[in-house]
Amino acid sequence: MKTIGVLTSGGDAPGMNSAVYSVVKSAAANGIKVYGIKYSYWGLTNDIDNCLVDFDLNNIGDILNKGGSYLRSMRFKEFYKEEYMQQAIANCRKVGIEGLVVIGGDGSFRGARDLTVRGLPCIGIPGTIDNDIPSSDFTLGYDTCLNTIMNLCNSLEDTISSNDRCMVVEVMGNKCSDLPLNGGIACGANVIVVPEIMESINNDATGYVIKKLRQARELREKTAAEKGSKDIRRHYLVIVAEKMDGVNVADIAKAVQEELGIESRSIILGHLQRGGKPSAFDVITGCQMGNKAVKLLMEGIGNRVVVKKGIDIVDYDILEALEMKSSLDMDLFKISVELGA
């Protein structure tokens, strides 16, 4: 193999650039050239001439520790269409790309598998803040995002503790509860609401939050009374996962204020969660994954996704990986409930 392509796909994530950096440097160390492809599968299919980045050891230098995606990232939903895939393969042949590294989520891996089947070996690397790729314990961007959530919520804590308020915070995670649950624990949330508990709380997120906050307040007051103290902690942080039908942080905050008399505000962290420099963990994982992807392509192997299992970097067949399932860590959720007061 003489030339490899690399692209980033789906929502951008800190650590994607680190993986691109590693692909370029690992390939160079083995005498292989790398083209970056801007704008993901769309660029590969529709505008290859303007989307090629001629990477080398001199121009790759400073993307290792940069947030976002230098190559731009996007979702090209029509890429499943045969005509687009054939066009992508023809474009690769035209510029000499013999293998492709795709950094993104499950949807991007499907494209990687389809291209491999059509003759272009592709390797997937999990890059998304959501950690919603069951085959990997960690996706690139997840660790950084957890730290971002913790730091943003610590800032919120400064203000709510000054005003004895409750803040209800919506956290991104795209139907995966890893960010809200772990982010919530990391910032000392009093209540965490994730999709997996909705059935057990009769789909009443607001009622659940009020019940847990009331319990927390009673416990704090009881503790103070037992000591004969008037020093009572009076601020609260509630973390709510995004994309839950009928659940709205502004409504929850209003209800908390009305029913418990605690002045309340709400905030959606949104895309603030996605930015920022990657953590050392994401940088190093990106370097490991990028290196492994190059090694697989050098052996002529495609249709694999490179993942982190514990501390190991391993690879799976893409279809096998796509069929894997993960579930909420209920033990961790129970811990978060015990830490709630």
**Which of 3, 174, 215, 223 forms a contact with ligand F6P (CB under 6 A)?**
174
Dist. CA 334–CA 339, nearest whole Å? 9
CB of 290 to ligand F6P, least distance (A): 20
172 binds ligand F6P (CB under 6 A): yes
Catalytic annotation, pick one of 12, 106, 114, 130 = 130
Neighbouring residues of 283: CB distance < 8 A, sequence distance ≥ 6: 15, 18, 64, 65
CB of 214 to ligand F6P, least distance (A): 31
What the block records as the tokens of 82 is 């045969």
Neighbouring residues of 148: CB distance < 8 A, sequence distance ≥ 6: 272, 273, 275, 276
Instruction: From 19-27, 30-38, 94-102, 128-136, give the range in contact with ligand F6P by CB under 6 A.
Output: 128-136
CB of 12 to ligand F6P, least distance (A): 8
99 binds ligand F6P (CB under 6 A): no
Whose Cβ is closer to ligand F6P: residue 126's or residue 173's?
Answer: 173
Instruction: From 80-88, 94-102, 172-180, 307-315, give the range in contact with ligand F6P by CB under 6 A.
Output: 172-180
- Dihedral, CA of residue 25, residue 30, residue 35 and residue 37, to nearest 10: -70
**Which of 34, 102, 125, 129 forms a contact with ligand F6P (CB under 6 A)?**
129
Q: How many residues bind ligand F6P (CB under 6 A)?
A: 9
169 binds ligand F6P (CB under 6 A): no
Helices in the chain by DSSP H: which ranges? 16-29, 40-46, 48-51, 82-95, 106-117, 142-163, 178-186, 205-227, 249-260, 280-298, 318-323, 330-338
**Which of 106, 114, 130, 178 forms a contact with ligand F6P (CB under 6 A)?**
130
274 binds ligand F6P (CB under 6 A): yes
Of residues 189 through 248, those in contact with ligand F6P by CB under 6 A are 242
340 binds ligand F6P (CB under 6 A): no
**Which of 173, 286, 302, 340 forms a contact with ligand F6P (CB under 6 A)?**
173
Dist. CA 275–CA 272, nearest whole Å? 6
Q: Catalytic: 54? A: no
Angle formed by the axes of helices 106-117 and 82-95, to 10°? 70
CB of 235 to ligand F6P, least distance (A): 27
Neighbouring residues of 153: CB distance < 8 A, sequence distance ≥ 6: 169, 183, 186, 187, 188, 189, 237, 239
CB of 244 to ligand F6P, least distance (A): 12
Amino acid at 201: I
Among all residues, which ones are annotated catalytic?
130
Binding-site ranges for ligand F6P (CB under 6 A): 11, 128-130, 172-174, 242, 274
